[in-house]
Structure 1
Amino acid sequence: MAITAGMVKELREMTGAGMMDCKKALTETNGDMDAAIEFLRKNGQAKAEKKAGRIAAEGIVKTVVKDDKVAAIVEVNSETDFVAKNADFQAFVEAVANQAADSDAADMDAFMAETWAADTTKTVKDALVEKVAVIGENLNIRRFEKVVTDGCVVSYIHGGGRIGVLVEADTDVVNEDIKTCLKNVAMQVAAMYPKYVSREEVSEEYMNHEKEILLAQAKKENEESNKPKPDNIIEKMIIGRLNKELKEVCLLDQTYVQDSDLTVAKYVEKVAKENNANVTVKRFVRFETGEGLEKKQEDFAAEVAAQMATNLN
């Protein structure tokens, strides 16, 4: 497979590795982007897999919270940022979020087939098709998630809808201090992108995969070192590095961004104690607009040239 400059650029943006390293990785993996990321990580040339380079689709994320007990988060995509900022589009997305909060649908197909709350003569799909006709762009209700709790659920929206977060907690006290605490935790989730709430959630498959990556890195470092380390030291290094990584991917282990002397767990514990409450962060949902989607690359100069050639013919 031919390796293009665009592929090298994309891999560089996702990993931070050098241009020649990226080109070699793509060549070695026959252009497979995920395999190339793995190749770079094993060779110590990429610190971690980063998907941000692929996030390009437009649209917004909206959240709705009702009585601190029920919440929904939705992502609705548009073709352009111009439409994403349109008041009519944003009102539609808010209506979709309210629909999701009241919905019992287990998946997107069931959700799209539901009666549209704003007009019971339509389904959600009908309402979407109608909105596409009015706005003049292809729109897509991409995903939704609903949270129902006996404790408390809060939401946070960042960047006008670029990122949305729900945080659910078991708590025997629900007041402004507790809700502010959970809102701050939601901001942490938006900023630091954890994968798990705590280490208890981390799968054995994930642990084994990361150990494999770290072992490959350690062996490469050992081969290049003037003072190679024995296997038992390498094993300790891997354990240390894995623990460091878990502190980055597990929310409660992360350093709390608003007070670097605390972890998120210690911050929640502190607020709970101040309010004579028992608070346990149960789960979070984080949507980032366009996450994992590829946006069509427009070359307007080529498009104009092609149009002119067509007209001349």
Structure 2
Amino acid sequence: MSNLKLGINGFGRIGRIVFRATIKRPDVDVVAINDLLDVEHLAYLLEYDSVHGRFDGTIEVKDGNLVVDGKTVRITAERDPKSLKWDEAGVDIVAECTGIFTTLETANYHIEAGAKKVVISAPSKDAPMFVMGVNDNELTADHKIVSNASCTTNCLAPLAKVLDDNFGIEEALMTTVHATTATQLTVDGPSRKDYRGGRSALLNIIPASTGAAKAVGKVIPKLNGKLTGMAFRVPTADVSVVDLTVRTQKETSLEEIKAVFKKASEGDMKGVLGYTDELVVSQDFVSDARTSIFDADAAIELNSKFFKVVSWYDNEFGYSNKLVDLAQKVHSL
């Protein structure tokens, strides 16, 4: 099969990390980027990253385009995705990374502009959501527009799947301790979403809502209504952690739970689900391409049906790598 030719709409945090995720993959080429910034600014932001380090390769600006490791990437600055002419750049799939065009109707603008398919880098209210290692086996050639769900759903869904497949989930509550994101403010100000969300990201632990747990019910339908949760936004730059408190249907033990997670991390979920029994902290997972790393030492048991499990995720790098994996799978069908 020919290389996947990827277009990226929106070159923010996720758009740039998606680009980085493709560099070590010989079967994926980013051929076009659309963003409203000028090309020199895009080149700068791609080369220098405060979290993931300097870009490992060469970046030049030539004739209004980017040249990365000798390959030309077309740069445009169109507000209207219908004007992007993706087909002229040979784009197979668009990674929709603006956070704006997240519905079937709006994501379809990219197909109207010549792309064959679209992967949305956010949850969608009506596009089917897929999490690698969980329900990507349900993808078909008829799926033209899909959502990669959220970074937190990509961490939580593998946890929920392993627990439910082995012990059954009666009910569960999730808390994600989540790193700062670009929508937050450095100093107090107004927030359209909620008052607390406008407080300084540098100084506060901020309670926030999240649809990540409920979204698991869309990815694993039999868990619909059994999961909900919330977030705490904390003053770290990257890497988050899911804390899942779960009541199982079957009696089990903490050691048995650890064993099934270790087995899953070495089997079908390898590369998605990780397992660690080392005494790790968040910074140890920066630039980890996996989306859910089970922390065996942090798991606890109250009784034979009530447990807490903890899993780490690089909410930028892990998620972006799985978006590329999803795009590759969509392309292969």
Return the TM-score normalized by structure 2.
Answer: 0.25
Return the TM-score normalized by structure 1.
Answer: 0.26
- Give the helix-richer structure, 1 or 2: 1
